[in-house]
């Protein structure tokens, strides 16, 4: 996993810098999302892994499937990846691109897990508090998991804030057995 991210990083950086210079972060985000989804399809995985296909044929196949969502620069990017045997990196490139885009836009996506459904006011309060703490605007998705008993668990990129009752009980049990 770390190796894929390392190999994908220069391609991501080049795509991001180009998209930023063209003011096209949104369109590149969509292009990369489409291409990443296509290369993960089982039939496309088989086609891209075929030694019988040249890199040019692989690029044409991928471009033809994604045709409606790619501009000229996107087609060139796909061709470059195919030429270098790196089409399989598209999901990693897309994920890294989204992280760079979020940093550029000073926004962060968070996933909040609660034991009970939050109403709109509670969601706004939580979103504002986390946004203030992180210094970014927050895009929040919520889910309910009754097993956490109470409190909230917040996940974003490499940040996890576990304020759940389940975690507190686990700490208490650990302290009592130590």
Q: Which tens digits make up the pLDDT trace of 42-92?
A: 989 888 888 888 989 999 999 999 888 899 999 999 999 999 999 999 999
Of the segments 27-41, 97-111, 146-160, which one has the largest average pLDDT value?
Answer: 27-41
Pairing of strands 159-162, 152-156: antiparallel
Tell me: do 83 and 168 sit in the same domain: no
Assess whether pLDDT exceeds 70 at residue 1. no
Assess whether pLDDT exceeds 90 at residue 40. yes
Percent of the chain with pLDDT over 70: 98
Tell me: do 95 and 38 sit in the same domain: yes
Tell me: do 22 and 69 sit in the same domain: yes
Q: For the domain that residue 7 is a member of, what is the CATH number?
A: 1.10.520.20
Domain finish residue from 102, 125, 143: 102
Assess whether pLDDT exceeds 70 at residue 121. yes
Domain finish residue from 53, 87, 102: 102
- Contact indicator for 58, 82 with CB cutoff of 8 Å: yes
Tell me: do 85 and 137 sit in the same domain: no
Q: What is the mean pLDDT of the chain?
A: 90
Tell me: do 98 and 113 sit in the same domain: no
Assess whether pLDDT exceeds 70 at residue 2. no
Domain containing 91 equals 2-102
d(CA 114, CA 92): 29
What distances in angstroms separate CA 3 from CA 8, 9, 12, 19, 159, one per listed residue?
A: 8, 10, 14, 24, 22
The pTM for the full model equals: 0.64
**E strand segments, the chain:** 107-114, 137-144, 152-156, 159-162
Domain finish residue from 78, 102, 126: 102
Tell me: do 97 and 150 sit in the same domain: no
Stretch 4-11: mean pLDDT: 92
Determine which of 28-37, 42-51, 101-110 has the lowest per-residue pLDDT on average.
101-110
Give the pLDDT of residue 105.
81
- Over residues 131-160, the pLDDT tens digits come to 888 778 888 899 999 998 888 898 887 778
d(CA 96, CA 12): 7
Tell me: do 71 and 26 sit in the same domain: yes
Tokens of residue 57, six digits: 């044929």
Tell me: do 41 and 85 sit in the same domain: yes
Alpha-carbon 9 to chain mean position = 14
Number of domains in the chain: 2
Q: State the pLDDT confidence band at 34, using cuts at 50, 70 and 90.
A: very high
């Amino acid at each position: 996993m770390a190796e894929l991210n390392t190999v994908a990083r220069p391609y991501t950086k080049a795509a991001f810098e180009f998209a930023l210079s063209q003011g096209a972060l949104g369109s590149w985000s969509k292009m990369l999302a489409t291409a990443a989804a296509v290369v993960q399809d089982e039939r496309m995985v088989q086609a891209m892994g075929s030694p019988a296909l040249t890199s040019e044929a692989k690029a044409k196949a991928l471009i033809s499937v994604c045709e409606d969502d790619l501009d000229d620069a996107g087609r060139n990017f796909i061709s470059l990846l195919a030429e270098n045997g790196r089409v399989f990196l598209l999901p990693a490139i897309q994920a890294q691109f989204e992280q760079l885009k979020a940093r550029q836009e000073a926004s962060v996506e968070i996933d909040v897990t609660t034991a009970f459904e939050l109403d709109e006011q509670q969601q706004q309060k939580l979103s504002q508090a986390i946004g203030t703490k992180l210094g970014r605007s927050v895009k929040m998705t919520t889910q309910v998991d009754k097993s956490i008993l109470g409190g909230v668990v917040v996940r974003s990129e490499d940040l996890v804030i576990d304020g759940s009752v389940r975690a507190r009980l686990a700490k208490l049990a650990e302290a009592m057995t130590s």
